[in-house]
Amino acid sequence: MHHTVVERELELRLILSPERSIPVPARLDYRSDDPYAVHIVFHTDSEQPVHWTFARELLVEGVFRPCGNGDVRVWPTKVDGRGVVLVSLSSPDGEALLEAPLPQVSAWLERTLRAVPPGAEGGRLGIDDALDQLLAR
C-alpha cells in the first residue's frame, strides 16, 4: 500500500501578548495512512520538538470560520491586512496561541485534500474492505 506524506515547513508565530509574538519554526505533516489527523511539529528551544495532533477537518473548517472546542480551537482573522489562521492549543502543561499564514496553510491543506479527499478517509484505513469481507461470510 502506497502512503502519501504531505509536508510543509513554515514559520508560525507564538503569541505571547497582544503586543508581542515570537517566530516558531514548524512543520505541518499529513499522512494518508493516518487520514483523519494532521500533525504539527514545533521546533522550540527545548531539546525535543513539540508534537500536536488533531483532526484535519478542524483545520479545514477553521480556515473559514471559528471551530473546535476543548484542547484545540481554530479561527481565521486578519492581522495588519494579512489573512492568518489562529490555533489555540491547551494541555495540562499549558496553553499556546499560534498564528499561521493563511495562504500557506490553505495551500498545504489543499494538497492533503487531493491526496485523500474528504469522505474518502475510511477507505484509506481499509475499514470498508474489512466490513465487506465480514458481511460476505
pLDDT tens-digit map of 86-130 = 999 998 888 889 999 999 999 999 999 999 998 888 877 666 666
Q: Cell for 61?
A: 473548517
pTM of the model: 0.84
Parent domain of 50: 5-136
Instruction: Please tell me the total count of domains within the chain.
Output: 1
The CATH number that applies at residue 25 is 2.30.31.20
The span from the CA of 21 to the CA of 46, in Å, is 18
- What integer pLDDT is reported at residue 80 of this predicted model? 87
Q: What confidence tens digit (pLDDT) does each residue in 8-56 have?
A: 999 999 999 989 999 999 999 999 999 999 999 988 777 888 889 999 9
- Reported confidence tier of residue 63, pLDDT bands at 50, 70, 90: very high
